[in-house]
Amino acid sequence: MNPTQTSLPILGFAAWSGTGKTTLLEAMLPKLVELGIRVAVIKHAHHNFDIDKEGKDSYRLRKAGAGQMLISSRYRRAMITETPEEEATLPQLIAELDLNALDLILVEGFKQLSFPKIELHREEIGKPWLFPEDSNIIAVAANVAAQTELPQLDINDLDKLTQFVADFAKQQSAPSLACSDLDPSGMLSVSEGRDRILRQIVAPTAQTSVDLKSALGQIVANDILSPVNVPQHTNSAMDGYAVRSDDLGRDSYHVVAQVMAGHSYDKPLNSGEAVRIMTGAPVPQNADTVIMREQASQDGDSVTFDLKMGAIKPGQNVRQAGEDLAIGQAAVKAGTQITAPELGMIASLGLDSVAIRPPVKVAIFSTGDEVQHPGEAQKQNCIYDSNRYTLHAMLSKIGCEVVDLGIIEDSEQALETTLRTAAEQADLILSSGGVSVGDADYIKTVLDKLGQINFWRINMRPGRPLAFGHIDTTPFFGLPGNPVAVIVTFMQFVEPAIRKLQGMTDWQAPFYNAVAEEKLRSRPGRTEYSRGVFGIDANGRLTVRSAGKQGSGILRSMSEANCLIEILPEQPGVEVGEKVRVIPLENRI
C-alpha cells in the first residue's frame, strides 16, 4: 500500500481561533465513540510544541540523539519523531496511524490543504465566513444563518452535528475503493474516477444493419473488409501517354490508341508504342509509366516528349491496383464512428448497407422538490429544470436515444419506481441533483436497495459529488445538480462511458495546449475546469482566456465559451504566457 493514500474518511474543521474547535471536538468524541466509530485526531500545532517532559527517560534519550523515540506501557504508547529538517505532511502523518483500527480521521489545522471540512462559525467572534474562499467546506455549523447552499447546522446542537459527522464517516467509507485510487484527502482524481467507471462498463454486442446514409454518426459493429481492390485496376494518375519503362529514351513513339476513363486498351503494349490515356483509365498490359500531356507534342500518330520539362522516371504517374485497399483488407475497423470519409469509403467498396451498434438508450431524470418544468408559472423558491435539457442535447449530439423520465418528486416510492423502469428500458441511467452530502437520505437508501452504487467525491471543480454504480445490470450515474457541473461531469465521465457502450475502443476527448492570456488560479491537487475562449492570436499562437463569471450554476458563461480550461492537479495555477490545457466544446455539447 502506498502510505500516503487511504480510503478512510477524513474530515477537518475550519474555524477562526476562539470559535471553540477543540471544545467542540472534546464534546463530540465521546458521542462518536458511543456510535461505534473509531476515531483518530490529527492536530497541527505551532512550531516548537513538546509533549515529552524534561528529565523523563524518553526525553533524555531523545535529546541524546534518538531520531525516533517509541515509548510503551500497558495502557498507551507514544512515538516522538524529531523532524528538524522538514515538517511532516498530512499524508505522512496519516501513514503513521494504524488505519485498520480506524473508521474516521478528524483533522484540526492544515487549513490550506484540500480535504473535506466543516466550517465552525460564531457570530460574536466577528470574523468573515470561510466557505466562500474554501470549496472544501462541505457544511457550515454556526449560530447564525449563512448565505450558502451548503448544509447548515446549529453549532450548539451537538447531537445533530455528531450525527452529520457519523453519516459522513459512513457514507465516505467505501471499502470497494482501492487505496491507490485516492489522493491524501480521500478523494478520487478525475482520471481515477474515469478509469473505475470504464472498468465497470461492458460494451454490448448487439448489432443492426442500416442503409448507408442512416449510418452517419453511428459506430461500425464489425471490421468492414474490402471485397475488391481499390483501385480496381492499375491506372493513370494523369492525362498523358502510357509507355513501357524498358522503352524510355526514344525520340518518338507511335500512338496506337486513345483510352478514356471507363474504357481500356486490351492489347499488350509493344516497344515503340504509346497509348494516349486519361486520368483514371487502366494502363495497358506492359505499360507502367505515364508522361503528362503538358510534356508531349503529338503530330498525327507520333508523339515526342520534352525532357527539359522534367526527366521521366520509370513507374511515374501510375496508381497500382489495390494501392488504397487490397481485397480482404479492413477498410473500416469495428468501433469506428462513421463520418464523411468512412461513409464515402464504404460506398467505394460497393456496399449500400452497414452493420452498426444500435444507438445507446439513455434514461434521464431530474430530482429535487425545488425543480420545476419550464412552461409552468414559477413557484416560490423553485427553479426551472435545465439539466434535463442540456443532458438531452448532449446525448442526442453523440448519437444516443433519450428516454426522458421527467422530474421525480422527492419520495422514496417515486424514485424506486423510476429507477426500476429506467433499468428495464435503458442501457444507461442518468440523474441530476441529490447526490451531495446533505441531500435527502432516501436517495441513497433507494439506490442501496436497488443496486450497487458508490458515492464518490472527485477532486475537481465544479462537479465534486458523483454517484456511479449499477441498478440491476444497468449502469447508473448520479450527477450533481449544478447545471455547469452537469455538463463538466458529463464530458469527463459520462461521455467516455457512452463511447465504450457504443463499442468505440479507447475513445479520448481531444485537447490542445494553449497559452494563457490571463492568470488562472487553481488549487494544487484538484482538477479545475473553467469556461474559456480559445483562438489564434496575431502571432499565430493558440491562446485562451476565461469566459466570464465562473460560478458552477452559471450556464451563460458555458454558452459564451468554446472550450473548457483544464488545470491539472499538479499545476499550482497558470501565469500569463504559460501553457494550459483546453478541451474544445465544439461537437461535444
| Positions in the binding site for ligand AMP (CB under 6 A) | 149, 366, 368, 370-371, 383, 385-387, 432-434, 436, 439, 480-483
What is the gyration radius of the CA atoms in the chain, in angstroms?
A: 34
Contact criterion met (CB below 8 Å) for 131 and 137: yes
The CB-of-148 to Mg ion minimum distance in angstroms stands at 14
Instruction: Decide: is 483 part of the binding site for Mg ion (CB under 5 A).
Output: no
Q: Output 362 or 516, the one with its CB closest to ligand AMP.
A: 362
Q: Which residue is nearest to ligand AMP, using beta carbons?
A: 481
Binder among 434, 462, 463, 480 for Mg ion (CB under 5 A): 434
Strands (E), 289-377: 289-292, 296-299, 302-305, 318-319, 330-332, 353-356, 361-367, 371-372
Please give the full DSSP string across 22-65, using - where no structure is assigned: HHHHHHHHHHHHHTT--EEEEE---TT---S-TTSHHHHHHHTT
From Mg ion, ligand AMP, none, which one binds at residue 469 (CB under 5 to 8 Å depending on kind)?
Answer: none
Which of residues 368, 451, 475, 478 is near Mg ion by CB under 5 A?
368
Nearer to ligand AMP, 302 or 396 (CB): 396
Q: How far is the CB of 405 from ligand AMP (least distance, A)?
A: 12
The residue among 193 and 480 lying less far from ligand AMP, judged by its C-beta, is: 480
Options 6-14, 46-54, 365-373, 392-400: segment touching Mg ion (CB under 5 A) = 365-373
Tell me the pairing of strands 474-479 and 465-471: antiparallel
Interaction of residue 480 with Mg ion, rule CB under 5 A: no
When the beta carbons of 455 and 534 are compared against ligand AMP, the nearer one is 455
Tell me whether residue 338 or residue 402 sits nearer to ligand AMP (CB atom).
402
- Binding span for Mg ion by CB under 5 A among 303-311, 360-368, 442-450, 452-460: 360-368
Total length of the chain: 589
At closest approach, how far in Å is the CB of 208 from ligand AMP? Answer: 33
Q: C-alpha 45: how far from its chain's center?
A: 39
Nearer to ligand AMP, 295 or 436 (CB): 436
Minimum CB separation of residue 440 from Mg ion in Å reads 7
- The C-alpha atoms of residue 184 and residue 490 are separated, in whole angstroms, by 25
Q: Which is nearer to ligand AMP, 318 or 446 (CB)?
A: 446
> Measuring CA to CA, which residue among 527, 417, 401 is closest to residue 463?
527
**Segment holding 444, helix H or strand E:** helix 442-450
Shortest distance in whole angstroms from residue 487 CB to ligand AMP: 11
Judged by CB under 5 A, the stretch of 9-17, 272-280, 434-442, 461-469 that binds Mg ion is: 434-442
Q: Which does 385 bind (CB under 5 to 8 A by kind): Mg ion, ligand AMP, none?
A: ligand AMP
Q: Is 433 in the site for Mg ion (CB under 5 A)?
A: yes
- Count of residues that interact with Mg ion, criterion CB under 5 A: 3
- Shortest spacing between CB 554 and ligand AMP, in angstroms: 11
Q: How far apart are CA 462 and CA 549, in angstroms?
A: 13
**Residue among 146, 144, 143, 141 nearest 161 (CA):** 141
| Owner of C-alpha cell 451531495 | 436
**530 touches which of ligand AMP, Mg ion, none (CB within 5 to 8 A by kind)?**
none
Rounded alpha-carbon distances, angstroms, from residue 210 to 296, 346, 504:
50, 13, 18
C-alpha cell at 517: 492570456
Q: Are 457 and 435 a contacting pair, CB within 8 Å? A: no
Asked if 569 touches Mg ion (CB under 5 A), the answer is no
Task: Give the nearer residue to Mg ion in terms of CB position, either 368 or 399.
Answer: 368
Beta carbon nearer to ligand AMP, 261 or 554: 554
Q: Residue 229 or residue 432: which is nearer to ligand AMP going by CB? A: 432
Residue of 553, 550, 548, 543 lying closest to 576 (CA atoms): 543
**364 contacts 404 by C-beta, under 8 angstroms:** yes
User: Of Mg ion, ligand AMP, none, which one does residue 432 interact with (CB within 5 to 8 Å by kind)?
Assistant: ligand AMP
Q: Which stretch binds Mg ion (CB under 5 A): 194-202, 425-433, 458-466, 564-572?
A: 425-433
Residue type, 47: H
Residues in contact with 237: Cβ distance below 8 Å, sequence separation at least 6, in sequence order = 279, 290, 317, 318, 319
Stretch that binds Mg ion, among 128-136, 392-400, 433-441, 532-540 (CB under 5 A): 433-441
* 506 grid coordinates: 479507447
Residues that bind Mg ion (CB under 5 A): 368, 433-434
